[in-house]
Amino acid sequence: MTAHRGWPARLSSGPITLRPPRLLDAKAWSEVRLRNERWLAPWEPTSSNSWQERNSTGAWPQLNGALKRAARNGTMVPFMLLFDDEIAGQINVSNIVHGVQRSCTIGYWVDGALAGRGIVPHALALVIDHCFLEIGLHRVEIDIRPENAPSLRVVEKLGLRREGYHERYLDIDGGWRDHVAFAVTVEELNGRRMALRAPVPRSGRVPG
């Protein structure tokens, strides 16, 4: 496994752990994804394959390999999001650019059964701090469909700045969808950690 600045990495705070994906994650990842089709499908990239095909245990090795290749190339830092040591979602730092720009975009998803618990805001804050302090980036961007209210609440809780509106920006769920762009730069944190803006969620899963 070839390493570079910022990857592989393990981040943790309270019941939240962020770590690189593993081949052995297949079963747990597939179970969460299949159970959350209604919750996740509207925000996923367009595909000619069914949800079951894309999220089966058999689909994971190829995806896991692609994530790790991008990580070795330095264009991505992929994280599995664990809550109480169980897979609850993913956060991917993508489109990493160094040089004069030093920027990236971040995407995420979480098990719908855990939404609203403050898990994603705190996990995302940990990842943003990692981007600035360990990877050495200057700017982080997060693009969200305007209809995605839960995801909009995540960036609002962290106080990310609304930066723009991209019309027909990404091919999502069968069509070119508008996205709202949010961003934060190192200067806006003024030496403080983003994770201090988001309380650590309490441990323990709420029965569905």
Interior/surface letters 1-11, b for 16+ CB within 10 angstroms, e for the rest? eeeeebbbbeb
**Count of alpha carbons within 13 Å of 57, Cβ hemisphere only?**
6
Model confidence at 207: pLDDT above 70? no
State the Cα–Cα distance between residues 194 and 196, nearest whole angstrom: 5
Residue 208 confidence (pLDDT): 47
CB 80 within 8 A of CB 87: yes
Averaged over 84-97, what is the pLDDT? Answer: 97
Neighbours of 139 (CB within 10 A): 19
pLDDT score of 27: 98
- Tell me the pLDDT band of 1, cut-offs 50, 70 and 90: low
Q: What is the mean pLDDT of residues 162-180?
A: 97
pLDDT of residue 124: 98
Decide if pLDDT at 99 tops 70.
yes
pLDDT category of residue 93 using cuts at 50, 70 and 90: very high
pTM: 0.95
Instruction: Provide mean pLDDT across the span 67-90.
Output: 97
Question: What pLDDT score was predicted for residue 137?
Answer: 97
pLDDT at residue 47 tops 70: yes
Q: For 108-152, write each residue's pLDDT tens digit.
A: 999 999 999 999 999 999 999 999 999 999 999 999 999 999 999
Average pLDDT, the chain: 95
Calculate mean pLDDT across residues 17-29.
Answer: 98
φ, ψ of residue 150 in degrees (nearest 5): -60, -40
| CA–CA gap between residue 36 and residue 40 (Å, rounded) | 6
Q: Omega of the bond prior to 8 within 30 degrees of 0, cis?
A: yes
